[in-house]
């Protein structure tokens, strides 16, 4: 939100741009504060989900998520930690882990950007 406001202020030109800048400038500190609150909420949500040590597959089996040893699906290197934390070597994040019954347990935090 802050970046959007600053871009609008920077791109404003002429007399109307001056008025727009004067109207938007006081909103920048509020936008910055809201951006920081959103980051805080996101980090707490990450912490809460990474704190989960177990999950259930669609059939109801318990799957241990960590701490354990995992192989990164992207770079194939092993690391110790939580199943859904970023790989320390390539920063990739697992989309899912497989249960012993071969059904996936999906990462609740996966948003489509695997860090590549």
Percent of the chain with pLDDT strictly greater than 70:
74
pTM given for the model: 0.50
Cα 12 to chain centroid distance, Å, stands at 32
Residue 26: predicted pLDDT: 79
pLDDT at 50 over 50: yes
Contact yes or no for 12/20 (Cβ under 8 A): yes
pLDDT at 11 over 60: yes
Residue 101: predicted pLDDT: 96
Residue 28: predicted pLDDT: 76
The residue whose two tokens read 């934390």 is: 85
CA angle 56, 59, 63 (to 5 degrees): 30
Q: How confident is the model at residue 91 (pLDDT cuts 50, 70, 90)?
A: confident
Contact yes or no for 57/105 (Cβ under 8 A): yes
Mean pLDDT of 56-76: 90
Domain boundaries, the chain: 2-48, 53-106
The residue whose two tokens read 């012993």 is: 100
């Amino acid at each position: 939100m802050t970046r959007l406001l600053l871009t609008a202020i920077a791109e404003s030109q002429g007399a109307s741009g001056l008025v727009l800048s004067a109207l938007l400038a006081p909103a920048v500190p509020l936008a910055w504060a809201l951006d920081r609150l959103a980051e805080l909420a996101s980090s707490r949500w990450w912490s809460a989900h990474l704190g989960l040590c177990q999950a259930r597959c669609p059939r109801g089996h318990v799957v241990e998520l960590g701490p354990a040893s995992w192989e990164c699906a992207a770079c194939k290197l092993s690391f110790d930690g939580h199943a859904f934390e970023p790989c320390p070597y390539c920063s990739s994040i697992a989309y899912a882990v497989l249960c012993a019954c071969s059904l996936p347990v999906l990462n609740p935090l996966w948003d489509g950007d695997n860090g590549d």
